[in-house]
Amino acid sequence: MDRQLALLQRHYAALSPSSPALLPSPPFPAPSTLSLPATQQFLVDRLLGHDQTLGDERGAHDWKRLFWRRVTKGIEQGFSERSAQGDVEVDDEEVHPDILEAMVDLLSSGSSAGAPGTSTRVYCWGDLAAEPDQWQSIRTREEGRLISGGTTGLRTWQACIALSNHLIASPAPVFRARRILELGAGVGLLTLVAARLAQQGQNGDDVRRRFVATDVDEKVLETLQGNVRTNNLENLAKCVKLDWELASDSVANAVELQQWRDEAFEGGGEPDLILGADIVYDPSLTAHLASTLAWLLQPRQGRETAPEALIAGTIRNESTWELFLHECRARQLQVNAVDLQVPGDQSGLVGAEGWEGEGEVRLVRIVAQ
């Protein structure tokens, strides 16, 4: 299977980027290539043939309608280009009937004519040269809107995909930890990827790892729990509400914090690894987030290894990111920049690229001094 077409299949499954018009070429085939019978057959077999959500969900419907419209226009343009170049075979070719049928079905069911709705997305990773059934994958149900129900937590963001890819490329922090906690987990992609990595990397290791995905919004937690169930990871991951403001006064809230720890880690305990992605965006929350990290990272008697936090952020506002780092250092936390790793040969998740108006993604490792 052509690697670029395999990459296109991953974009299609993940509904990424936000609009099919933003898909670069490659992996989107050039018109002359797109019009070839073999390319069209690939799209029918690998995209339509594996598509279980075509027309079933508002968000997926609108994205795929635009995708197949781009495909059909590209095929027709390719016919014209090949004909102008003297390719006589093009006279006997036409758009594959299954592609036309999909386009008609999508057009006849209408459009939401507004912001994208809820959809199921499939994020895949693994060797592009392998068959798709050999790829690893995570399914999430999420919103296409930037803000839905008053929260940004119902969709996957750029830094989450970048940190997920970092762990895929360099999973040692996950393998070292026995308890992993995510702050501001949202729909849960990062926790779910880490849990899947732990499953795949056990290699006879019978030590039971535990993943705790946290958020504060009830709707987000409901969606998060549903995504854990969808991926059959209830035996590894649980969802727990955590309000960062509690740790800002850890003395006054000591009882409540201990109760939270008992619930999160089933009788007590602390995380060995803390993850967070795209959680540094509101200046008013940076002090609460830093206090939460200081509380979770503080040295405790009986800990075999010092805990660490990996926090990835998309730099939309340099001053907000710097304020977060300042708040961490003010609480005697050591902050070090980490180079983001990327899986080789484009084998990671798609979606970290091509975000219009977004800044670079940075990763820091935070530990107690």
Q: Which helix (H) or strand (E) holds 335?
A: strand 333-338
- Decide if 53 is inside a domain: yes
Number of domains in the chain: 2
Contacts of 249 (CB under 8 A, 6+ apart): none
Q: Which residue has the higher pLDDT, 325 or 109?
A: 325
Domain that holds residue 69: 3-124
Q: Are residues 242 and 351 part of one domain?
A: yes
The more confidently predicted of residues 268 and 130 is: 130
Which H or E run contains 185? Answer: none
Task: Phi first, then psi: give them for residue 172, nearest 5 degrees.
Answer: -50, -45
Q: What pLDDT is attached to residue 149?
A: 63
Domain identity same for 119 and 157? no
**Predicted pLDDT of residue 300:** 73
Say whether pLDDT at 358 is over 70. no
138, part of any domain: no
Q: Are residues 98 and 215 in the same domain?
A: no
CATH number at residue 338: 3.40.50.150
62 contact partners, CB below 8 Å, separation of at least 6: 111, 112, 116, 117
Write down the pLDDT at residue 114.
45
- Can you give the pTM of this predicted structure? 0.92
∠ CA(269), CA(275), CA(276), 5° rounding?
130
Pairing mode, if any, of strands 273-277 and 308-314?
parallel
- Whether residue 179 is predicted with pLDDT greater than 60 in this model: the reply is yes
Residues belonging to the chain: 369
- End position of a domain, from candidates 59, 89, 124: 124
Q: How far apart are CA 126 and CA 346, in angstroms?
A: 9
Same domain, 98 and 217: no
Same domain membership, residue 282 and residue 236: yes
130 inside domain? no
Q: What is the dihedral of CA 155, 160, 162, 168, to 10 degrees?
A: -110
Does pLDDT of 69 surpass 90?
Answer: yes
Distance in angstroms (rounded) separating the CA atoms of residues 175 and 182 = 15
- Of 77-91, 143-157, 186-200, 291-305, least confident by mean pLDDT is 143-157
What pLDDT is stored for residue 19 in this prediction? 86
One domain for residues 120 and 174: no
Ordered DSSP codes for 220-274: HHHHHHHHHHHTT-TTTEEEEE--GGGGGGTTTTHHHHHHHHHHHTTSS---SEE
Neighbour-count burial of 225, counting CB atoms closer than 10 A to its CB (0-12 exposed, 13-18 middle, 19+ buried): middle
- Residue 87 belongs to a domain: yes
- Reported for 109-113, long-range contacts at CB under 8 A and 24+ positions apart, including other chains, are 109/55, 109/61, 111/61, 111/62, 111/65, 112/58, 112/61, 112/62
Tell me: do 191 and 333 sit in the same domain: yes
| Helix 318-330 with 286-297: angle, nearest 10 deg | 40
Write b or e for each residue in 174-191: b if 16 or more Cβ atoms lie within 10 A of its Cβ, otherwise e: beebebbbbbbbbbbbbb
Residue 270 confidence (pLDDT): 87
